[in-house]
């Protein structure tokens, strides 16, 4: 699911999107995953709405089109349908689950509700081992999720594979290069799925593997220089992998025209602000404008216990500080944002300047500050990472010299420790949580499991419980440990870490952190719980 870091043959003027596969999204939870699987083959992919017209697709000139799955039945009155003209574009098309059924229905076949649905793992028996199924093992496991089935094929189509419950598990019109699979090759449960995708991308669409880290960095630097010229760019640095990678990339492209500003709101983990500034200043020679706004932020949420109100006030305070500091350090023509491709798919937090046609910022993404900029504080946007998924950003960061401690840093919320302290946030509680959190990080690093976890952190509860320490009764705070595993943060499971690790962390926190006398472990998955407590 990443760009490849191996150096490729350099091209003087490389258009990475020339070799493109388009995914038309019909509401599947896996549409984004299909795009990521395509990029694993070193070919660029984009997710577009199923409403995209044939003429728009013709202008994009993709090498191939994939129709995603979806929750509907094709025969429902309100079911989403694509432009029927796409079948005559002459571009290879692969329909996945709903996408295959839509292909069948629009081209004259029949899709019906059947008595036997098929959900989960199924053995796939291949009738035609060529083309789409080259090097896919007969009897391989594929992931099924359907209650409807194809009961009659359109003219010119043939069956490529079947399962015990599904007669038409894969179909094709070889002459027109139209293919359909009833299963989901993009999910990890489909053993031969990636091989099938590679067959479609390389053998059927004849794509070339141009989507590489080296090529992306080269083109991004060229585009940044062309867009920015001799103007100044402002970047609000958070210390996470997105903004840090962006800072490195921009500095390589435009040098001193970049100004990085780090607003310390007082809610980061122990020693993190100092470490961040030292890394960027001393080791990487990228100057950072440090803004100490700890007192302002703490005052802004004094007495606040509602989590949404807490977030709102932190966001508003960030706006005020950002506005004042950008004017002091400016003027700036451009604002750099670490927008990623999932943000592009899901978000519409930008406006178009009617005079210039430029995208202008009306909101800084919540990854950085959970707030929005005033509409009269206008910048043109620079978003070099907006084509990348998170795992691709990590590859790019690593390739341009970002240290592993940042590249592999666990996700950290914009409001920081302020939402890991339930109830009112005070300086005393912040210090307690910082000390406990530091012990957690030290011990999971020492045990070697840091990179096995999606997140691992401590939470401070605003209650006190009775304890006994040194033959004396105590009345102190409990700390909750929250360790989870996940692939994308959308769902998560509590981590089954060794008991002796939990025991070590508990003993250290109780012995070393004043004000804590109890440590508990959260064994709730997501859903029903969330990863963060607020």
Positions marked active-site: 97, 184, 186
Phi, psi for 223 (deg, rounded to 5): -70, -40
| DSSP character at residue 282 | I
Q: How far is CA 150 from CA 125, 370, 516, in A?
A: 17, 47, 62
Task: State the maximum Cα–Cα separation within the chain, in Å, rounded to a whole number.
Answer: 85
Q: How far apart are CA 128 and CA 465, in angstroms?
A: 67
Q: What is the DSSP string of 47-108?
A: EEETT--HHHHHHH--SEEEE---SS-TTSTT-----GGGGGS---EEEETHHHHHHHHHTT
Contact 5, 210 (CB under 8 A): no
CA dihedral 135, 17, 246, 364 (to 10 degrees): -110
Q: What is the DSSP string of 172-190?
A: EETTTTEEEESS-TTSTT-
Question: Token digits for 158?
Answer: 């043939």
**Burial class of residue 306 in the structure, from the number of CB atoms within 10 Å of its CB (0-12 exposed, 13-18 middle, 19+ buried):** exposed
Q: How far apart are CA 22 and CA 39, in angstroms?
A: 11
Q: How far apart are CA 356 and CA 138, in angstroms?
A: 57
Q: How far apart are CA 104 and CA 474, in angstroms?
A: 71
């Amino acid at each position: 699911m990443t760009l490849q870091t191996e150096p490729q043959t350099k091209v003087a003027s490389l258009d990475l999107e020339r070799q493109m596969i388009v995914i038309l999204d019909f509401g599947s939870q896996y549409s984004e995953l299909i795009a990521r699987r395509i990029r694993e083959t070193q070919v660029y992919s984009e997710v577009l709405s199923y409403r995209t017209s044939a003429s728009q697709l013709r202008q994009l000139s993709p090498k191939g089109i994939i129709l995603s799955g979806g929750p509907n039945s094709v025969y429902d009155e309100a079911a989403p349908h694509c432009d029927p003209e796409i079948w005559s574009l002459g571009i290879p098309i692969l329909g996945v689950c709903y996408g295959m059924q839509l292909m069948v229905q629009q081209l004259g076949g029949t899709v019906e509700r059947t008595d036997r649905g098929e959900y989960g793992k199924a053995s796939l028996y291949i009738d035609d081992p060529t083309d789409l199924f080259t090097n896919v093992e007969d009897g391989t496991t594929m992931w099924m999720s359907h209650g409807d089935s194809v009961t009659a094929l359109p003219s010119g189509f043939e069956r490529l594979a079947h399962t015990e419950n599904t007669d038409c598990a894969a179909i094709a019109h070889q002459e027109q290069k139209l293919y359909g699979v009833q299963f989901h090759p993009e999910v990890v449960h489909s053993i031969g799925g990636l091989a099938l995708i590679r067959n479609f991308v390389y053998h059927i669409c004849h794509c070339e593997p141009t989507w590489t880290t080296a090529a992306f960095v080269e083109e991004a630097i060229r585009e940044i220089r062309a867009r920015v010229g001799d103007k100044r760019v402002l970047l609000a640095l958070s210390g996470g992998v997105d903004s840090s990678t962006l800072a490195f990339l921009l500095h390589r492209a435009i040098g001193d025209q970049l100004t990085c500003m780090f607003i310390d709101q007082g809610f980061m983990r122990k020693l993190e602000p100092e470490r961040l500034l030292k890394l960027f200043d001393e080791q990487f020679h990228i100057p950072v404008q440090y803004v100490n706004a700890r007192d302002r932020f703490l005052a802004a949420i004094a007495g606040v216990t509602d989590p949404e109100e807490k977030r709102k006030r932190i966001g508003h305070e960030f706006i005020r500080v950002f506005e004042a500091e950008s004017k002091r350090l400016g003027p700036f023509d451009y604002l750099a944002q670490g927008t990623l491709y999932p943000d592009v798919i899901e978000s519409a937090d930008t406006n178009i300047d009617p005079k210039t046609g430029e995208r202008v910022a009306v909101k800084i993404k919540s990854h950085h500050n959970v707030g929005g900029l005033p509409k009269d504080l206008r910048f043109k946007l620079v978003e070099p990472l907006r084509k990348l998924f998170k795992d691709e950003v990590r590859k790019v960061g690593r390739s341009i010299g970002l240290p592993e401690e940042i590249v592999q840093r666990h996700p950290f919320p914009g409001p920081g420790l302020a939402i890991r302290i339930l109830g009112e946030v005070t300086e005393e509680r912040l210090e307690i949580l910082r000390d406990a959190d530091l012990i957690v990080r030290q011990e999971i690093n020492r045990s070697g499991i840091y990179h096995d976890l999606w997140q691992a952190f401590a939470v401070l509860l605003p209650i006190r419980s009775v304890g006994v320490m040194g033959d004396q009764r105590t009345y102190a705070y409990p700390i909750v440990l929250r360790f989870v595993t996940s692939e994308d943060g959308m769902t998560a499971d509590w981590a089954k870490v060794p008991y002796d690790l939990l025991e070590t962390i508990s003993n250290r926190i109780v012995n070393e952190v004043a004000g804590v006398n109890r440590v508990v472990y959260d064994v709730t998955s997501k859903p029903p719980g969330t990863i963060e407590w607020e």
